Structure 1
Amino acid sequence: MPGTGGSRMKARNGRRPGGAGSVETARPKPMRTEILDAAAELIVREGYDACTMRAVAAMVDMKAGSLYYHFKSKDEIVEEILNQGIETLYARVAGTIRDLPKETPFARRLSAAVEVHIASLVGKDQKYMHVYEHLPLVIKRRSRKMREKYAQLWHDLFAGGVASGEAAAGHDLRLLVPYFLGGLNRVPEWSRASGASSEKIAELAVVTLLDGIGARQ
């Protein structure tokens, strides 16, 4: 595979795997994954414009021309990062909801989903998630199919609350879901400066949605 030079296959002690005195090491990442990781790191660290094909190739120790063997363009790389990020987010939120006991109240189910969503966006190890906040709006609008699938997960969550009588009926979920998710997706822009935990932000989001902020009479 292009770009997989000897430096990638060396063990951490400088010896190649399988040789005398060698130590067992983890298998290297597939080249496509290395490229995606490098591009995501570059976007988060230096911005979308800095993520050129040449810059990404340099980060993975590959000739710029060889990068086109794996991806046709920078846009294709970014779209793959977005898709994988959303797929991971979907799996985590869906898994969290699925693992809750069936009798779990709607407010708790919503809070758990919000907490996982926020934690995935701001967690230090979620590199692909961090990319989203650094992209131009026109780029964010791509990966529509995966975004619609993720939105449907939240639509079903809210619909379940309405069906159980725990959430008020009459609201158009086609408007409520993107409104709610849009607010959650902006959390990384201010949460780090505030120092608030994912749990605290999730609690605030759920309380303000379900109870409102108006003073009780």
Structure 2
Amino acid sequence: MARQGTRLPAAAEEAVSGGSESESKSALTRSRILDAAARVLSERGYAGLRLTDVAAEADLQAPAIYYYFPSRDELIEEVMWAGIADMRAHVAKVLDQVPDGTAALDRLLVAAEAHLRHELEISHYTTAAIRNAGQVPEGIRKRQVLEEERYGEIWRRLINDVARDGVLRPELDLYIAQMLVLGALNWAVEWWNPRRGSVESVVRNAQSVIRHGLAEVPEE
């Protein structure tokens, strides 16, 4: 499936908009390498990523990669960090656009849709980060783990708000509920493909599971 929106780091954006022609070209080349690495890593995993494949995807000679990234693992580390950082920024931006006064459970459902769309149809970076979290060496995951903690804080607040609204089932543990929801959303990258239904269908099913799994059903 074709993904939308490649990632251009802030430093590259500055170089492109205000730097010299050589700086702009360098920034864009670095971004091309990262985009290529994200696609290869999302499809072939940590063990299967070869710099020759990344170079071919980026339409470069493999030695050129070392000008921008001293090692294979440093390239992978950047992709893994960006996958979660971009996800966090995307979900936070979507939530900022939700009208004031929206019920906490509805905000949680909005976040679930934003998360699924980002990992399934927007970003190879996020797909790569989720799929390879358990495969890469711990040293590579340090920055990613910090981003995961920051992203988890968004979900902690969402779940807590549902509880404060008096909607969360009383038997549920807030942390366990948060981790189960996030775990289920993340796992979609492993099993979903267009033959199993549209992204819209995945979103609807996930929202239904969350709504009826977390919300207390009033007695009739």
TM-score range, shorter chain: 0.7 to 0.9
Q: Which residue of 1 aligns with 2:197?
A: 195
Identity of aligned residues (%): 28
CA distance in 1, matches of 2:74, 2:124: 17
TM-score, normalised on structure 2? 0.72
- Matching residue's letter, 2:165: S
Q: Give the direction of change, closer, same or farther, for the CA distance of 1:207–1:191 in structure 2 (3 Å limit).
A: farther
Q: Which residue of 2 aligns with 1:164?
A: 165
Larger radius of gyration: 1
Contact kept in structure 2, 1:40 and 1:131, CA below 8 Å? yes
Contact kept in structure 1, 2:41 and 2:48, CA below 8 Å? yes
- Please say if 1:51 is aligned against 2:49: yes
Measure how far apart 1:170 and its partner are. Answer: 6.6
TM-score, normalised on structure 1? 0.73
CA distance in 1, matches of 2:149, 2:206: 22
Contact kept in structure 2, 1:85 and 1:129, CA below 8 Å? yes
Task: Kindly indicate which of the two structures has a greater share of residues assigned to helix.
Answer: 2
Q: Show structure 1 runs of 5+ residues with no match.
A: 1-26
Q: Which residue of 2 aligns with 1:132?
A: 129
Contact kept in structure 2, 1:132 and 1:140, CA below 8 Å? no
Q: Give the direction of change, closer, same or farther, for the CA distance of 1:119–1:208 in structure 2 (3 Å limit).
A: same
- Matching residue's letter, 1:201: N
Measure how far apart 1:207 and its partner are. Answer: 2.5
CA distance in 2, matches of 1:169, 1:95: 30
- Matching residue's letter, 1:30: L
- More displaced, 105-114 or 190-199? 190-199
Q: Give the direction of change, closer, same or farther, for the CA distance of 1:131–1:140 in structure 2 (3 Å limit).
A: farther
| 1:137-156 paired onto structure 2 within 5 Å | 137-139=134-136, 142=141, 143-156=144-157
Q: How many aligned positions are there?
A: 188
1:112-131: per-residue Cα shift (whole Å, max 9, x none)?
Answer: 110111111111x4221222
Measure how far apart 1:54 and its partner are. Answer: 3.2
Contact kept in structure 2, 1:43 and 1:50, CA below 8 Å? yes
Contact kept in structure 1, 2:46 and 2:136, CA below 8 Å? no
CA distance in 2, matches of 1:102, 1:140: 42
Measure how far apart 1:169 and its partner are. Answer: 5.3
CA distance in 1, matches of 2:60, 2:130: 27
Q: Give the direction of change, closer, same or farther, for the CA distance of 1:136–1:161 in structure 2 (3 Å limit).
A: closer
Q: Give the direction of change, closer, same or farther, for the CA distance of 1:111–1:30 in structure 2 (3 Å limit).
A: same
Question: Among 104, 125, 129, which residue is 1:106 paired with?
Answer: 104
Root-mean-square deviation (CA, aligned residues, Å) is: 2.8
